[in-house]
Structure 1
Amino acid sequence: MPPRSLVPSVGRSSQAPPLATRAKAEEPIEGEDHLGVAPPPNYCWGAKRSRTNNNNWRDWSNLGDGPLGLIAERVLAFDVADYLRFRAVCRPWRHCSTEPHTHGGLDRRFHPWRWVLLREPLAAPNRRCFLNSFTGEFIQVDLPELLDHELLAVTPEGLLVLLHDHNHVRLLNPLTRHVTELPPLTMLLPSKDHVMLSYFNIDDFLATGSGIASDDSTVVLCFNRFRILGMAKPGDDHWILLKYNHDGFTDTPLMFAGRFYYVKVDGVMALQICPNQPPRLEVAAKLNMHVSPISEGLHLVNSCGDLMLIHRQIVPLTSPDKSCYQYDMYRVNLDTGTLLPVKSLGGGAGRAMFWGMHCSFSVPLEVFPSGSISADTIYPSFDFTERSLLEVGAYHLLDGHIERPSGLLQRPNTLVDCLSLSNTVDDE
């Protein structure tokens, strides 16, 4: 059931009063866990506190199944966290809305795809913060599964890829707490590699690039270090194995719009899964550039629904105040199979990209304090050498200007530091 700790610590930009003030309070059902629905505290990014008039109170709990059902559908279409809060208000609201656990764990309606898991070195072992990359809201969630599971990856759908006893693979929805069982790793790795599970090293089993395929029934598990893909459906007893070669270019394979992508010398490659046919890899876009795997890197990222490629280069220094790192960004046009240079991340007030070696996300500027983040800017995580060597803290796409970071911080003290640390996998 949903965790009690799903209470906003930073409010959304909304004029509507909290759900708890809009419906008649009711005692919880015995044995059923509930979300907290306390109103957000006063410190809200870009939000104003709503005001209610007790003289205009209405018994919204008796609105009727028809209107309530329609409201529930629209709330769910926007965000599953709000939907869980909606269901937690009272018994009538809960009865007119669908229980997430009655549906399979791959049902996209209940996936927290807007929420980004934030890494916090000093957090409790079973508690994590999540950021809504559309609204700027933060929530804390208790996840007792993290006490006895390894976290291998977070999928684009917001699901956690977990490993239990170094063998059993599970998908966890961190908000609904729905667990999906998948075949064990021993049914994917060749027999000669099973010994690696006995001497388990999390760095070998980072599953960046994993996610749910476009058929909404297949899970794609990627181990980029081994250059293997596994495909299985819930209830299967084995994985379908597919090996690939990335020529040393791809540190960040990506699931985008239900398809697996990675980069090799031939171009941007895509996984095709068709009924009654073996899965195959094909070229989705040509590179049309020479790339050295020694001094250059190619990184795929999702920028608010656009598949982007970042070309990272080490270039000769032209002056002491310049950096030896250069970045070019391209939009991958899947219709024409070409790369288009871009200098903007789009968005009304602008967007910024927090770019990690293993995961990335973009955020809109309007939901954060003015001046805290710059538009059309790439912020590298602490995974990258240029960030840890204090050479690149931010790269502005429009003019190529580079900001140097203020220092290496054991604990972040700015918003940029916090978000840059959140997608850092290895900062030791």
Structure 2
Amino acid sequence: MRDWSSLAPDLIRHVSDLLLAPSNIESYLDMQAVCSGWRSAMADSSPHGAADLRFCPRHWVMLQDDGGDDQGRLFVNVSTGRFFRHRIPAVRGHALVGASDGLLVLAEIQSPHRCRVFNPLTGQMLRFAAPIPILGESGTVAVAAGSDPMLLLASSGAVDGRAETAWFADPAGDYFFGRAAGSARHVIAATVAYAGQIYMAYTDGSVSRRVGSSAQHGHDELVIIAAAVTKPADQSTVIEAVFLVESAGDLLLVLRQRYFLGVFKVDVERKALEPVTSIGGRALFLGRRCLSVAADRFPTLEGDCLYFASPLYSQKLSAQSILRFKIGGDWEWLVSSNLLSIASVFLAYCLHLPHVKAQLLMHRST
């Protein structure tokens, strides 16, 4: 019988690099577990640990945002359809702020509530010196992973009497640097981590990315001004909702005007918008945060469709309505009596964000 532990280190590294190239981190970790010889030959993560781009669990989503860890947290891979429960003791003593690119953004329960970025698959933690400034309304987060990691917190409400809608920090910074919403172009509607950078979409449909060597000295570079959406003459030109989502390697911008939708690929190199007629059989779930899901891996989902919550949506109702839009087609109402249907579960994840202040108060009372 062949002794697999005696494989040449160069061959082991080549195979492991092939796994990391498409971000197949779970198979990479399985390979590391074979034996100590393989572990020593394989690449280790950078000093930034959880923010190493090669090890980001990009396709993994933690569906269970709250509750204890006795039974573990529920994760799903939106590209393969694999579910598993995973205990992550490192979350204890922390409040969940949000998730970005598969990474969890945490705040220490103990004052001054310093920020942490945690990789739930590798167990690595990136520690920030700055405390979390958003303790009121829930907000979205985006982590720029790589050699110069950066964290964005965005909220629709003021914090400590300030009207900033965005706060940026890098690991060494003592605090988050706020940016006020001086105009519609500075009111953030959506955030996403894409190709190791932070992108922001605004309420006027424009898109920018954060550039610079640090959060303090960085600035927003305008990438795109949203093109006019072709629409019937009797419909409003007012943009009612803006969504930004990474989907199968592309950055997509979705503009909603009443019941008219425009779906565009953001070409970050040419700084142009390209209307799309297909999203490769994916299903997009759009809300305060967004998901791109391989529809063929989940029963009852339909590809090249966008899913939204209707105004009647509520997790407390025995029945709920979901709006589904077929690209190149029309709207459809989906009424489900099953609150645990896969469409309902994904949509609930996109709509309901962790409430940091409520988590902190709960821990203080126990």
Structure 1 or 2: more strand by fraction: 2
Contact 1:231/1:241 (CA < 8 Å) preserved in 2?
yes
Name the counterpart of 1:385.
311
Matches within 5 A, 1:166-205: 167-185=113-131, 189=133, 200-201=135-136, 204-205=137-138
Residue 135, structure 1, aligned to residue 61, structure 2: no
Unmatched runs of 5 consecutive residues or more in structure 1: 1-56, 190-196, 315-324
Aligned to 2:278: 344
Task: Note the C-alpha offset of 1:278.
Answer: 3.1
Q: Which residue of 2 aligns with 1:425?
A: 352
Q: Per-residue CA shift, 1:377-410, capped at 9, x if unaligned? A: 0122x5x525449453422112113132223x4x
Does structure 2 retain, via aligned residues, the 8 Å contact 1:245–1:264? no
**How far apart are 1:112 and its partner, in Å?**
1.0
Amino acid at match of 2:129: P
What secondary structure is seen at the aligned counterpart in 1 of 2:301? coil
What displacement does 1:273 show? 1.8
Q: Name the counterpart of 2:108.
A: 164
TM-score by length of 2: 0.78
1:334 aligns with 2:265: no
- Structure 2: how far apart are the matches of 1:276 and 1:90? 41
What is aligned with 2:257? 313
Report 1:380-419 matches (<5 A).
380=308, 385=311, 387-388=313-314, 390-407=320-337, 409=338, 411-412=339-340, 414-419=341-346
Distance 1:179 1:267, change over 3 A: same
Find the aligned partners of 2:138 and 2:187 in 1 and give their Cα distance: 18
**Structure-2 change in CA distance of 1:255 and 1:267 (3 Å):** same
User: CA RMSD of the aligned region, Å?
Assistant: 3.3
Aligned partners of 2:126 and 2:213: how far apart in 1?
Answer: 23
**In 2, are the aligned partners of 1:269 and 1:281 still within 8 Å (CA)?**
yes
Partner of 2:359: none
Shift in Å, 1:276: 11
**1:192 matched to which residue of 2?**
none
CA contact (8 A) 1:242 1:279 kept: no
Rg: which structure is higher? 1
Q: 1:67 to 1:336 in 2, by over 3 A?
A: closer
**Does structure 1 retain, via aligned residues, the 8 Å contact 2:154–2:188?**
no
**Structure 2 partner of 1:317:** none
Conserved in 2, the CA contact under 8 Å of 1:273 and 1:280?
yes
Which of 301, 307, 310 is the equivalent residue of 1:373? Answer: 301
Partners of 2:10 and 2:270 in 1: CA distance: 46
Shift of 1:171: 0.6
Q: Does 1:212 align with 2:144?
A: yes
Q: Which amino acid aligns with 1:385?
A: P
CA distance in 2, matches of 1:282, 1:101: 28
Write out aligned runs for 1:221-236 (5 A). 221-225=152-156, 226=158, 227-236=164-173
AA paired with 1:185?
Answer: P
Change over 3 Å in CA distance of 1:345–1:132 after alignment to 2: same
Cα distance per residue 1:158-213 (max 9 Å; x no partner): 21110113621101111111111112337xx5xxxxxxx8xx44xx242x142116
Structure 2: distance between partners of 1:266 and 1:396: 21
Separation in 2, partners of 1:276, 1:251: 20
Count of residues in correspondence between the two structures:
333
Which TM-score applies when normalising by structure 1? 0.68
Instruction: Name the SS of the counterpart of 1:404 in structure 2.
Output: strand
1:228–1:183 Cα change, 3 Å = farther
